A and B are shown apart, each in its own frame.
Chain A
Amino acid sequence: MTDTSSRENHLLITLDVNGEQHEILVEPRRTLVDVLRHDLGLTGTHVGCEHGICGACTVLADGKPVRACLMFAAQAEGTALRTVESLGDGCGGLGDLQQSFTEHHALQCGFCTPGFLMLAEGFLAECPDPEPDEIREVVAANLCRCTGYQPIAEAIGHCAARRLKEK
């Protein structure tokens, strides 16, 4: 069993999160989501299952959505991580995707929301002009217990359309 109090068996890793470098000492078994939330204080990323199904922990690794509960923090070294805290102006002002979410009432309790935002952010970067079916498929990757999903899909579609128009 690991002795959490001793530093033997711990790893010194560097994580690149939202453009900042963080040096931290972690147990090898410590998950990325726990490091983000509890070591770096980035509590916007949430935990709904810890087994890769709900998607509440979704963050971007080199631009791609990943489940931060399924990764050890040590595995994330060398990738550029982005969390919900990086969206918008980074000071609490809303970006266009977040704006679209509030306009469409795509969140109620808001617990799943950071995961859906990062999922959508990664998806739209890859696929800027999606078909409704493609959006639905992406939204189906995560769980939301409050909204019935329709407003989330609408918010993503609307954001995509607005981005295309503004190009």
Chain B
Amino acid sequence: MSPTAPHPAPAPHGTHGSPEGDRLVGRSVRRREDPRLLTGRGRFVDDIALPGMLHAQFVRSTVAHARIAELDLDGIREVPGVVAVFDAADLGLADIAARLDRPLHEFVPTDMPILARDRVRYVGEPLAIVVARDAYAAEDGIEAAKVRYDILPPVVSDTAALAPGAPLVHDAAARNTLVDVAMFATEGIDDVFAAAPCVVEVHTTTGRQNALPLETRGAVAAWDAKEDQLVLHTCTQTPHQVRTVAAACLGLDERAVRVVVPDMGGGFGQKCVVGREEIAAAAAALRLGRPVKWIEDRKDALTASFLAREQRYDVRAAFAADGTILALDADVVCDMGAYSCYPFTAGIEPLMASAEMPSVYKVPAYRVRGRAVTTNKAPTAPYRGVSRPQYVMVVERLMERAARELGIDAVEIRRRNVITEFPYTGVNNITYDPGSYLESLDLCAKVLHDEGWYAAKEQAAAEGRHLGIGYSCFSERTGYGSTAFAARKMQVVPGFDISEVRMDTTGALTVTTGTQNHGQSHETTMAQIVADELHVDLGKVRIHQGDTERITYGWGTFASRSIVVGGSAVQRAAAKLGAKLVALGAHLMDAKPEDAELGAGCVRLRAEPERTVSYERIAEAAYLRSNLLPDGIEPGLSATASFDVFDDGTFSNATHGVVVELHEGTGRVEILRYVCVEDCGVAVNPQVVEGQCRGGIAQGIAGALFEQITYDAQGEPSATSFMDYKVPTAWEIPDVAIHHLETPCLFTTTGAKGAGEGGTIGAPAAVLNAVNDALAPTGVELDSTPITPETVQRALESRP
């Protein structure tokens, strides 16, 4: 671990340094995605236009919970420009079925129909697909739908869902409970609480949010008669999983579906589950024998896509008098909305929270109950951070509350509790690999001290202003492998990735990966890894993603897995190809493979490095003059390798420090300073890592202070446009000072850990703690988000 702030020098790591020393891993190489995106030459799904293409929109439920008494679509067919309209009965598609391998008392399966059949469960649920000559006519068509509902009482909150005698969202799910797991229950934990000198509680709720990629969801589906295949262009983080579900729902062989992902305008988890609309659009395209495009409008994106984050925590923790944490006892309820998402199920949020809540601390005793309840709201999907923004917030609140009760400094109490010796196996049976928990905390606090913020706070208090300083200290498990997902008992178990590296006759490299870039810069970072492994210029390497015909298999991009799992598969495949290049190159020099090695764009003899044979010559022999090949070496130059993580993955970590000022009168929370000390091991591209931090922090602040989708008593969502869903702008999002620490991952060749979610995980806790610090003189403590101006103003007014 070494501090390198603010920009790390290109740090050589591992054993693969090029003899010429120009390693690309560790350098802020310019992004290779940028030229096309900066010149309007990117190609997003709505940029695709196919001959004869039609346009689809959906008739959606206007009520939260009802039986469909009558669905009259005839009027739609009369609308000029409308070509067809289909309901569930017309299309006859199989449901999307997401499953956990758990007994019924722990998990209740509920299938999601592509179009609602006889019952609707949320406002926005699709009932019919209207296909028209253009998008305007499709919208006209929707207006002509006649739906009669037999209204059922809606379930609009987790507490209402769990209330005795509550109406049922799914008849099979008693008490509206889809997931209910009790875990860990350390023996004697009740005695620990009974004897502890200090027990603190935190009761938290977090608002329902939309991950809000700026590009909404969408698809273009067309039958390719020549290939005898459905081609589904769609902006998904998980192309192979969309293929599997599309084939199952449509009743096709999986071979007969090709999923192609164009450039993507963000995803953040919302696009890592399979949606119903892209399947319906595909079914319509098959029916009509013409391409069908569906582009979600913003209203549907806000109300009827996948939402996230609405959770409730009732947690208590026991502490010793010196601030050492003794036990943690938690009850977590997640409001998952109307359906389980594929492949994760409604277990995604409660299982994450339950498994990982002890966070960066040495918690000796732990008990948790995690539940997912179903309500009449749009369904949920994983969203950047998945439960970690919430449980980190809860645990960090517990730390600060105990610090206050025990009269210990808020940083000091964390120092006494963070894990410092690695590997550390926690009470939750997870083994944490080395990180810089204490070092990041100390550095972050030092920066805020050195910058004078503690003095500024005192000064402000003297002037009657309200400054507060808050921290969050957390880790982020990255590189979940198949064992980690199997431990969640998912029936479909993500984990590995496969990569192919192919060299053509000119020595240029085509690399495939099953990960799916949607802003993370994989075309650059993965190419850096390959270029280093084979000692070629970056320009020689081209990364390909997002085409199920080209990519053997993959699990896409989510859970900060890409650089750890995908990057390792890419590196291994490149190394395998390198071995073949050495064998061939040695043969062309009449030498033994063990006497040769890779040089810059060539194979050379170890003993006589000036004797080389270029990749171009080797490639020529491999393809164009295969008569030169030795026995036992096949023509062609390609290698395939896979990678999976069989232990508990690797933990990135960080500390965030925030200074806020609360404004009397308006209740506005202004962020004056934001410091992030992060450690994601070796940063393959430091500028890209900083981008992930900043963007993640912005989304975390959005959840802490601004964004929330509420529902009224009838289950009508409050936010239907950007007028009523406040996405923060450059006014609200502060600059972020980033400092890097580097504890290399032990099982990736690059030393890299994942970096996609940390910013979002750490921000809500740090902001909330800072607000509470500023509110300290009032005696009010806030535990929930979003922290609205009204709440803050009320707290300020309550000052004694």
Contacts and interface: CB of A to CB of B under 8 A. Distances in A.
Given A136-B730, A149-B730, A92 B698 contact: no
Interface string A1-21: 111111000000000000000
Nearest to A38: B49
A85 to B, nearest CB: 5
A161 interface: no
A14 to B, nearest CB: 21
A79 interface: no
Contacts of B687: 105
Contacts of B264: 109
B40 A109 contact: no
Nearest to A102: B34
Contacts of A4: 80-81, 132-134, 136-137
Interface in A81-132: 83-85, 87-88, 92, 94, 98, 101-103, 105, 107-114, 117
Contacts of A50: 297-298
A108 B730 contact: no
Interface in B637-695: 687-688, 690-691, 694-695
A111 B80 contact: no
B266 interface: yes
A146 B132 CA distance: 33
A85 B40 contact: yes
Nearest to A42: B40
B521 interface: yes
A145 interface: yes
Contacts of A56: 214
B505 to A, nearest CB: 26
B722 A109 contact: no
Nearest to B79: A1
A108 B697 contact: no
A48 B81 contact: no
A145 B521 contact: no
B731 A145 contact: no
Contact of A147 (B28, B520, B694): B694
A5 B133 contact: yes
A84 B266 contact: no
Contacts of B201: none
Contact of B298 (A49, A103, A112, A141): A49
A88 B39 contact: yes
B94 to A, nearest CB: 32
Size class of B's contact patch? 35 or more
Given A4-B134, A42-B40, A109 B688 contact: no
Size class of A's contact patch? 35 or more
Contact of B723 (A51, A92, A112): A51
A67 B399 CA distance: 47
B620 interface: no
Interface in A38-72: 38, 41-51, 53-54, 56
A27 B39 contact: no
B38 interface: yes
Interface in B692-723: 694-695, 697-699, 721-723
A162 interface: no
Contacts of B727: 54, 143, 145
Contacts of B213: 109, 111, 145
Nearest to A135: B730
Contacts of A42: 40
A32 interface: no
Given A4-B134, A145-B699, A140 B39 contact: no
B212 interface: yes
A109 B49 contact: no
A59 B39 CA distance: 13
B769 to A, nearest CB: 20
Contacts of B731: 136-137, 140
Nearest to B215: A111
A113 B36 CA distance: 11
Contact of A111 (B34, B133, B265, B697): B265
A98 to B, nearest CB: 4
Contact of A49 (B41, B268, B694, B722): B722
Contact of A117 (B38, B212, B521): B38
Contact of A110 (B263, B691, B697): B263
B298 A44 contact: no
B133 A109 contact: no
A148 interface: yes
B730 A140 contact: yes
Nearest to A118: B40
Given A151-B691, A152-B730, A49 B721 contact: yes
Contacts of B699: 145
Contacts of A41: 49
A105 B35 contact: no
Nearest to A90: B39
A108 B690 CA distance: 11
B214 A54 contact: yes
A110 B265 contact: yes
Given A51-B298, A143-B214, A149 B40 contact: no
B68 to A, nearest CB: 25
A29 B38 contact: no
B30 interface: yes
Contact of A94 (B38, B132, B137, B215): B38
A139 B79 contact: no
A30 interface: yes
B737 to A, nearest CB: 10
Q: Which of B37, B81, B214, B691 has the most CB of A within 10 A?
A: B214
Given A148-B694, A148-B698, A98 B39 contact: yes
B31 interface: yes
B44 A147 contact: no
Q: Which of A29, A98, A150 has the most CB of B within 10 A?
A: A150
A142 B140 CA distance: 29
Q: Which of A1, A108, A109, A137 has the most CB of B within 10 A?
A: A109
Contact of A29 (B28, B42, B44, B136): B136
A44 B731 CA distance: 26
A8 B47 CA distance: 28
Q: Which of B35, B38, B722 has the most CB of A within 10 A?
A: B38
Given A109-B215, A109-B265, A110-B33, A146 B695 contact: yes
A1 B733 contact: no
A150 B80 contact: no
B729 A105 contact: no
Given A2-B80, A50-B298, A151-B694, A110 B736 contact: no
5 contacts: A46-B214, A102-B35, A111-B214, A117-B38, A146-B691
Interface of A: 1-6, 27, 29-30, 34, 37-38, 41-51, 53-54, 56, 83-85, 87-88, 92, 94, 98, 101-103, 105, 107-114, 117, 136-137, 139-153
Given A51-B298, A87-B38, A150-B736, 15 more contacts: A1-B80, A5-B81, A34-B135, A45-B40, A105-B28, A110-B38, A111-B44, A117-B38, A140-B729, A142-B729, A145-B213, A146-B695, A148-B695, A151-B691, A153-B730
